[in-house]
DNA sequence: CTATGTGAATTTATTCACAGCA
DNA sequence: TGCTGTGAATAAATTCACATAG
């Protein structure tokens, strides 16, 4: 569903108002009947003979994915990767807003990047009060587990982890780890000759 | 399989020499029988009563994933994200080495980061001669397609794309796109209450 | 006539249970 | 006894075909 949502948001940006399962399938490189099955599992969103109205379908999928309310994000670790995340402009369409940035480097604390000021990681405890329950971890590998522990303590309920390591959290907390090297390691398999 | 490989590499780093399917399953959060099925699909790697010898299993999986030969990588777009990729130390264990970096900013060209010098994107054509057939794209969104086109022209056969957009390439070229915002958008679904 | 939604058929993946080997 | 490897059973996902609605 997130892939479909991205495709629909892309079409909406380009001014499209409706789309058929075949159109969307071609755009995303999947099958039309797959899309229809997936959509119909959650309800009847389309109009026969016409297709799907992008605006209503988008808001339906956002509701299903719980993206219908604005969510605040904290970024922990403002190195190169953290800075790249702060500079990234693609969160808004999913209802996300970066609301806090943390680092443990005194030289960085207090600096403003975009419209958030970098805070001391010692202030992580304020997240609960500030209703921030989503975090992105972009700290060095050896600090990842400690950071995750502090985030859990601070009431964070989901983490996007960019450190290439296993972090263990209570199972009430959802973690998605993005390991650049491992993703890269998938590619050679699809490169046949040599 | 890439996930299994990462787990095995992790165990090897920590000095482990053999592992049972149950051990590995617990580490990775999957089922033991799933691991055995997956391994046995490619051949008989284990020893009954003992488990799997990590060293031999690792090299077997590397061969399967075509990671048994060293591969050179090019990074295109040395902004925050590109710098983070260049600084990243986790590629080596998969047999990757960053061998080239490119940007179109004259102020950056010629600078050395780590042990690669940033080159002008106009030099992308040299990749074929230098036997570099893997690339990571970390350029702004609106430059992604043009960059991909030039990489394909330069003989690149697989691309890891960090720009949140659709890029189209000949189907002989494999592309994996990592869209941070979309990955983040998967999380709220797993955060039950509010 | 177009495009959805859905049962049925088919294929694929997961899970189990246990034989077989160290 | 411990753990792998695998056939058989079960579940799930994919694909097809078409009735149905606009």
Query: Which candidate from B81, B83, B91 shows the least CB-CB separation from A181?
Result: B91
Is A2 near chain B, with CB under 8 Å? Answer: yes
The gap between B172 CA and D9 C1' (Å) is: 40
- Distance in angstroms (rounded) separating the CA atoms of residues A68 and A55: 13
Is B170 near chain A, with CB under 8 Å? Answer: no
Q: For B25-40, what is each residue's pLDDT tens digit?
A: 999 999 999 999 999 9
Residue A177 Cα, gap to closest chain B Cα (Å): 9
Inter-chain residue contact B180 with A87, CB threshold 8 Å = no
Q: For A71-94, what is each residue's pLDDT tens digit?
A: 999 999 999 999 999 999 999 999
Domain with CATH 3.40.50.720 in chain B: 71-182
Chain B positions touching A85 (Cβ under 8 A) are 180
Q: DSSP string covering A28-52, please?
A: HTS-HHHHHHHHHHH----BTTTBE
Does residue B126 contact residue B72 with C-beta atoms inside 8 Å? no
The gap between A3 CA and C9 C1' (Å) is: 28
To which residue do tokens 């983040």 refer? B184
| A194 pLDDT above the threshold of 80 | no
| A9 pLDDT above the threshold of 90 | yes
Q: For A91-139, what is each residue's pLDDT tens digit?
A: 999 999 999 999 999 999 999 988 899 999 999 999 999 999 999 999 9
Topology (CATH) of A71-182:
Rossmann fold (3.40.50)
Inter-chain residue contact A27 with B166, CB threshold 8 Å = yes
Best CA proximity match to B2, nearest among A162, A141, A163, A180: A180
Domain with CATH 1.10.10.10 in chain B: 2-64
CATH classification for the domain delimited by A2-64, as one of 3.40.50.1370, 1.25.40.10, 1.10.10.10, 3.40.50.700:
1.10.10.10
Is A176 near chain B, with CB under 8 Å? Answer: yes
Number of residue pairs across A and B with CB atoms under 8 Å? 149
């Amino acid at each position: 569903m997130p892939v479909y949502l991205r495709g629909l948001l892309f079409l909406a940006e380009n001014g499209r108002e409706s789309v058929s399962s075949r159109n969307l399938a071609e755009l995303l490189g999947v099958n039309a009947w797959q899309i229809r099955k997936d959509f119909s599992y959650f309800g009847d969103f389309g109009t026969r003979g016409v297709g799907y109205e992008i605006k209503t379908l988008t808001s339906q999928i956002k509701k299903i994915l719980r993206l219908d309310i604005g969510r605040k994000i904290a970024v922990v670790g403002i190195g190169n990767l953290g800075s790249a995340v702060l500079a990234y402009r693609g969160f808004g369409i999913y209802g996300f807003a970066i609301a806090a940035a943390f680092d443990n480097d005194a030289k960085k604390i207090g600096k403003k990047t975009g419209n958030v000021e970098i805070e001391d990681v010692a202030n992580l405890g304020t997240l609960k009060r500030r209703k921030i329950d989503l975090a992105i971890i972009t700290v060095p590998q050896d600090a990842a587990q400690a950071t995750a522990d502090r985030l859990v303590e601070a009431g964070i309920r989901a983490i996007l982890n960019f450190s290439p390591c296993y972090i263990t959290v209570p199972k009430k907390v959802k973690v998605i780890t993005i390991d650049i090297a491992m993703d890269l390691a998938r590619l050679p398999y699809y490169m046949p000759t040599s």
